[in-house]
Amino acid sequence: MENEEEKDDSIRWYVCGPTVYDEAHIGHARTFVALDIIRRVVEDFFRLPCIFAMNITDIDDKILEKAKEERVPFEIISERYTKKFFQDMRLLRVRKPDIVLKVTDHIPCIISFIQGLVEKGYTYETADGIYFDVNKYPFYGYFRQCGNLIPKENREKKDPRDFVLWKKSPSLENVPGWNSPFGKGRPGWHTECAAMIHEVFGDRLDFHGGGVDLSTIHHENEIAQMSCFLGKGWVPNWIHVGHLSIRGCKMSKSLRNFVTIREAIESKQMDAEEFRVFCLLHNFNCDVEFGEDEICEAKRTWSKLKKWNEEWSYAEKDLCSFFEQKAKKETEETEEWGEKADDRSWKTEIFIKLRNNFQTREVMLLILQECKKTLQLKAQGCFPWDTCSYIYQLLLIFGLKFPAWSLINKEQELIGLIVTFREKIRVALSSKVEDQQLRKDIFAICDELRDQDLKRIGIHLEDLKD
């Protein structure tokens, strides 16, 4: 088994998913869209195969509180908001994880992970649960050095930074729980992720993602548990997405300053494409304000790109599909060597920007600059197909989707209207117009439309006799 694992060189990637007790807001959307963009760049631009896993915390204090409020079993709450979260992700066109891990489906593995830590002596028991003893791990706090911000909510805790691995269910209350060697209860949040990462990926994790707010405590705690469990250092590459703030404050449920994903999209504040452009325009690791200026910049950028796409969609040469273009590009590959050196430099620049910490903002600005150049060339009668197809490919990789189909449908509709209009005139001419010269002139105009104007844009019409 170990040998099999070593042979598998796919990137092992884990993302801390949502706790499903309420609707996701735009702050969550930014985290998941930013991570989705990075995933697409890794998988489709750098062509590195990944195994992408995400957890769903479907048992938690907040879920239990909500269930109590609504007087329903907790599963009703967690299932409702899991479904909504998936719908939101679909709306934002976030690629589905390869593996989705619902905590309640993995209780036995979490119990045996805790058991491992208990046996190695890293834990202690109090009246309400099993705790991790951070002082037994000499490197605790080295990751972010913020661990001492935690309030001591349980007097029996040896150190305020100690965290619960297993929460015992109070016997008198009707609280859901699972049987375990440490009594009936449920896992603590910090231990779920560590245990499931170990269950799925074993000793090695390559990328670990999540919102930056998880880096201070949650991920510090994951590192401590994994390193103690494995008996060796555990060091994934961390991909922490910056905060989204609204009027200078972090968007969060506790501050009640949030906009849900659905609200933002249904109120037409932003559509899925504009939101993705918004994420692309702010590098994933930066904090960003969800303000008027930032929203306008994203809308303006997307409308520029759509306009650019329309310009080329209407161009005569673009009647063949994108994939035909790609095939064409491959046959022209040898010719490309003849291009001027500076034609290629912007592509190199894009490669470097993406390779160096996924600087999507800089890449988007380069794309806009190149789009402008292609339109200038088009005005001069040149068709820089290689550049255009490269831009298309990049935008597709970023997960952007042009409204191409509606455009094509409109074109079809327009062609239909022209054909019918022309037919009606020809019929009217034959049956109702006596003046021979006028008939001849109008027929000539109809023929000109068929033989010159329509042909020029690649449409071939044939008139049926009678």
Which residues of the chain form contacts with Zn ion (CB under 5 A)?
16, 193
Nearer to Zn ion, 223 or 265 (CB): 223
What are the tokens at 275? 């939101």
Tell me the residue type at 56. Answer: I
Provide the b/e sequence for 337-358 (b: ≥16 CB within 10 Å).
Answer: eeeeeeeeebeeebeebbeeeb
Nearer to Zn ion, 188 or 399 (CB): 188
Q: CB of 218: closest distance to Zn ion in angstroms?
A: 5
Q: CB of 193: closest distance to Zn ion in angstroms?
A: 3
Nearer to Zn ion, 114 or 265 (CB): 114
Nearer to Zn ion, 18 or 399 (CB): 18
Nearer to Zn ion, 187 or 384 (CB): 187
Provide the b/e sequence for 263-293 (b: ≥16 CB within 10 Å).
Answer: ebbeeeebebbbbbbbbbbbbbeeebbbeee
Residues 6+ apart with CB under 8 A from 216: 144, 146, 147, 149
What are the tokens at 149? 């911000």
Nearer to Zn ion, 147 or 399 (CB): 147
Residue 150 to residue 2: CA distance in whole angstroms: 38
Q: CB of 275: closest distance to Zn ion in angstroms?
A: 24
Q: CB of 359: closest distance to Zn ion in angstroms?
A: 26
- Cα dihedral angle (433, 436, 442, 446), rounded to 10 degrees? 100
Q: CB of 200: closest distance to Zn ion in angstroms?
A: 13
Q: CB of 358: closest distance to Zn ion in angstroms?
A: 21
Which residues in 127-176 belong to E strands, given as ranges? Answer: 129-132, 163-168
Q: Give the residue among 104, 163, 281, 149 at the shortest CA–CA distance from 273.
A: 281
